[in-house]
Every structure is written in C-alpha cells, then in structure tokens.
Amino acid sequence: MRNPEYVLNSLAAKSGDQNYKFQRIYRNLYNRQFYCLAYRKLAKKRSVKKQNQETFFRSIHQLIADLKAERYQPEAIADSRQGRFHDSLVQEIVRMLLEAIYEGVFSNDSHGFRPRRSCHTALLQVKRDFINVNWMIHADLHPFFSSIDLQLLRVILRKRIMDEKFIRLINKFLRTGALNDWQFQQTYSGTPIGGIIGPILANIYFHELDMYVKKLADPPYKGNLLPENRVEKMAKPAGRRLVYVRYGGEMLLGVNGSKREAGIIRDQVAQFVQCQLKIPHPQEHFTVRHAGKPTRFLGYDILVKKRCKLYLPHDIWVSRLHGLKAVKTGQNGLLKPVHRSDLVKLGDPEILSVCNAVIQSMYNYYRLADNASVMSRFHHFIKYSMVKTLAFKYKKSVRKIMQKYLHEGKFAVVTETDDGSELIKLYDGGFAHNSSPILQDDVDRIPERKQDKFFERSPGMSRISEQAESRIR
C-alpha cells in the first residue's frame, strides 16, 4: 500500500497541468492507510467519534470490499445513523483526492474552503486590488447551491478525471445530498460552513465562473451583451480594469470605468451564471453600487475613497449584542446593557469565559477593519451586561460587583485550580487595526456555548472556589 501523503503529493504535482487527465483515482479507496489519514483529519475537527482500533480496521475491511464491488451506498445526508461514519471517511478521502487534483488550477481570486485561505485573505485581496475602482458588483449565490446542475458538474469533473468509477462514487454522494450538506451555523460573513465534499465540488463548479471573469478582465476588453444578440463593444482605455474576488458563492467585482460599463459586466456575468452554469434567475442577486458607498461583502462594508477601506458595520455589532440579549434599546433610542438570563446559572469563571470568547471572536474576525477601534464600544456593552448578570445572580448592586471583581484595576474572577487560586481576566488587549490574516476555518464562526471547542473547561472551572462565591454572597 502506497503512503497516502506520497499519492496526494504526486497528484498535486500534476495539478497545474491544465491538459493532464487523471486516471485510476478510485483505487486509492482500497488503501487502508487513506482511511487512517482521513480518520485523523476528521477526529481533529471532531467530525467523527473515537473508534476502537480493532473495530475500526474490521469495519474498514468490509467497506473496502463493498467499494471494490461498487456495492457501497452512502446514506442520505438527513440520516444520522451510524453508517454516516463510513460516509464521512469516504467523503474525506474523496475530498483529499479532489483537492490534490484541483488546487493547482484554482484561481487566486477564489478563497472559500481552500487550504491556507479564509475570509481574511479574500478581504485583504479586495483592499489591495480594488484601490482604483469606481463601481462594485456584488452577488451572493449561496442560496442557489441546491440548484447546481449535477449533470453539468459531472461534465466538468470529466474534463480532468478519466475514471468512471470515481465519478460514479461522487455521483452517489450527489444523489444523497452531499452538495446540500452545509452547516448553517452562525457566521460573521453570513456564509454557511461547508460539509465535507460539498465545498470543493462547489469550488470546482464555480471555477468555470472564475475563468470566465478572468477572460473578461484580460485586455483587450470587449463588452458583450448576450440577450437579444445585442453586442456592445468598448475599447479599454489605459488604466481601466476589472478586478474580482470570490469566497464560496459570494463574489465582488470592481470596475474602473463608467456605470454603464459596470452594468454591462453585471449582465454578462449574470448571463453566464444562468446560461452556462444553469443557475436559474440569478440577475436579481447582482447589484451595482458606486464604490464611494458601502458595499457589504463577507460581513464588512467596503468603500473606496482614495484607497480601499474595510469597515465593521454599526448594524453588525449592534445586531450581535441584540442576538446575545446583552442589550435593549431604551425609549431614547440608546442601547442599554442588561443581564443575560442564559448565563445566570453558570459559574463565575464560565460566565467570564463566555464573554471573553464573544469579544475575542468578534475582534478576531473584524480586526482587519479600518475602524476596528469601535470594538471598544462592543466590549463596553458586553462587560456591563456581564456585570449586571453577576449582580442579578448574587442580588447585589452593580457598584458592589465592580468593587468585588476589580483586581489591580482589572475585572477578573477567581477560580481554583490544582495549583491554587488563579485569576481569569476580562479581555483587555485592545482593538487595534491588524492586517495580518487568520487562516483557520474558525475565524468566521460565531461561537456558541454548546460548541465546547470554544469553551473548553480548565481544571478549575468545575471546582469554583466556594470561598470566592461566598464572599460575594
């Protein structure tokens, strides 16, 4: 059995050759080492439960036999039975193979669900490339993912893959809803989190769009209005250009030209999406806006005034506060912090950890913003909502809570660990603009308490000091 890392590297080495046809891909699913690698990757993401080693290899032996005979049938995505464990492993292997085959040809303008790319790299490309644009064209095609033409997707796959067994396996997943396996968890960008093979299949599909826009952007520029066979040609003056960034199904195009030219480009791209990608009625999702006015992209407001600027929108952080039920709007229209009833029953360290996670995750995502300092206002409301939560919990005044929890001028909670008492401080690291991207997938996720990866307990969190709480009482 060949080492799977060697196999993937070998495939990736040929990925950049547009004319290379990949064959005998399916046989890699007979390699037990691939299942071990897939299991390690999924376990790291907590996408599968731990398995006993003997049970694991016995079940893999049967799975490989079914794959060789093409008896293997994945379960429907909606089905949550144990069989999904095998489906997850097979999908992860398919994902790794597809990534090795396609990553070398994917456009640099595509950032979604790819290694060492994230919302941040997409936003930084916008800030770098959109500096001279006059008009922005925005579209979000995520709602159309369920409408992707599966027959067309198979045609696109066959352009590079000459292995019908492998194509048939992917088709089995498509029939059970793999492309619709998006986790609609809350994200700052509004982008759904991908399943296992759905994201890379969507990228393969929309790669056709990336290549089409690249042709539009390459000189000499010719606008081409497809409806009614009307053709309108425009010379491309010096300095006029088209720039483009895509993250999953959300895209932003920048036009250094007139509004009329921007409208032509919008119609061209929408027409390509409808006619060539066979996505119905996308025109209403394409908008044209002057670059001097904010255009929302991946949860940021993008404006171009001498230079391209990224902003944390006011409505975003206010909406987040309301979603947490940390504030209410008073009769004077001003925000007022209130206690959070969902946190009252937690221990003090957990309450503080929840608030820290909320603040830090929000700042991690929006630290690219030119106005990142407005996060201090978000911090203020989270802090005083927490103080009111503790005041409500202990039936004390806000003033007494502030006095009790201040340690050397910092708000902190005492917790007991194996090594003694420890202070957990409220985040006070500041909110400076930071242009260094975060590449982890989690940067876009809004943390929830039930997601223990954001709120892993320290040893002391389950053993809160009775003296610390008794002093409050």
Q: How far apart are alpha carbons 471 and 473 in whole angstroms? A: 5
Angle of helix 375-394 versus helix 314-324 axis, rounded to 10: 10
Give the DSSP H/E element, type plus range, for residue 211.
Answer: helix 198-217
Alpha carbons within 13 A on the beta-carbon side of 274:
15
Alpha carbons within 13 A on the beta-carbon side of 61:
6
Instruction: Return the pLDDT at 180.
Output: 75
3-class DSSP state of 243: strand
Angle of helix 32-44 versus helix 84-102 axis, rounded to 10: 100
Instruction: Return the pLDDT at 227.
Output: 39
Q: Which domains does the chain have, with CATH numbers?
A: 1-105+162-176 (no CATH), 107-146+182-218+239-311 (3.30.70.270), 313-471 (no CATH)
Q: How far apart are alpha carbons 362 and 409 in whole angstroms? A: 24
3-class DSSP state of 297: strand
Instruction: Return the pLDDT at 57.
Output: 83
C-alpha dist (Å) from residue 28 to 67, 164, 293: 11, 14, 51
> In whole angstroms, how large is the CA radius of gyration of the chain?
26
Instruction: Return the pLDDT at 466.
Output: 41
Q: How far apart are alpha carbons 167 and 26 in whole angstroms? A: 9
254 strand-pairing partners:
136, 243
- How is residue 251 annotated by DSSP? E
Place of tokens 């439960």: 49
Using alpha carbons, select from 148, 167, 172 the residue that is nearest to residue 157. 167
Question: Pairing mode, if any, of strands 420-425 and 410-417?
Answer: antiparallel
**Residue 31 in tokens:** 């390699």
Residue pair 349/460 in contact (Cβ under 8 Å)? The answer is yes
- How is residue 179 annotated by DSSP? G
Other Cβ atoms within 10 Å of 307 Cβ, number: 11
Angle of helix 84-102 versus helix 198-217 axis, rounded to 10: 20
Residue 396 has φ and ψ, to the nearest 5°, of: -120, 165
Chain center to CA of 10? 28
Per-residue pLDDT of the chain (473 residues; tens, 9 = 90+): 789 999 999 999 999 998 999 999 999 999 999 999 999 998 887 667 777 777 788 889 999 999 999 999 998 865 544 458 899 999 999 999 999 999 999 999 999 999 999 999 999 999 999 999 999 999 998 888 878 899 999 999 999 999 999 999 999 999 888 877 777 678 898 888 778 999 999 999 999 999 999 999 876 444 443 333 333 343 343 344 899 999 999 999 999 999 999 999 999 999 999 999 999 877 888 999 999 999 999 999 999 988 999 999 999 999 999 999 999 999 899 999 999 999 999 999 999 999 999 999 999 999 999 999 999 999 999 999 999 999 999 999 999 999 999 988 899 998 877 777 888 999 999 999 999 999 887 799 888 764 333 344 433 333 333 443 444 44
In 110-194 the beta strands, taken as DSSP E runs, fall at 135-140, 161-162
Instruction: Return the pLDDT at 50.
Output: 74
Place of tokens 């490339």: 129
Which amino acid makes up residue 217?
A
Instruction: Return the pLDDT at 453.
Output: 39
Q: How far apart are alpha carbons 303 and 290 in whole angstroms? A: 9
Helix%, strand%, coil% for the chain, nearest 5: 50, 15, 40
Instruction: Return the pLDDT at 442.
Output: 79
Measured CA angle at 111 (ends 108, 117), to 5 deg: 100
Using alpha carbons, select from 258, 253, 255 the residue that is nearest to residue 270. 253
Instruction: Return the pLDDT at 98.
Output: 98
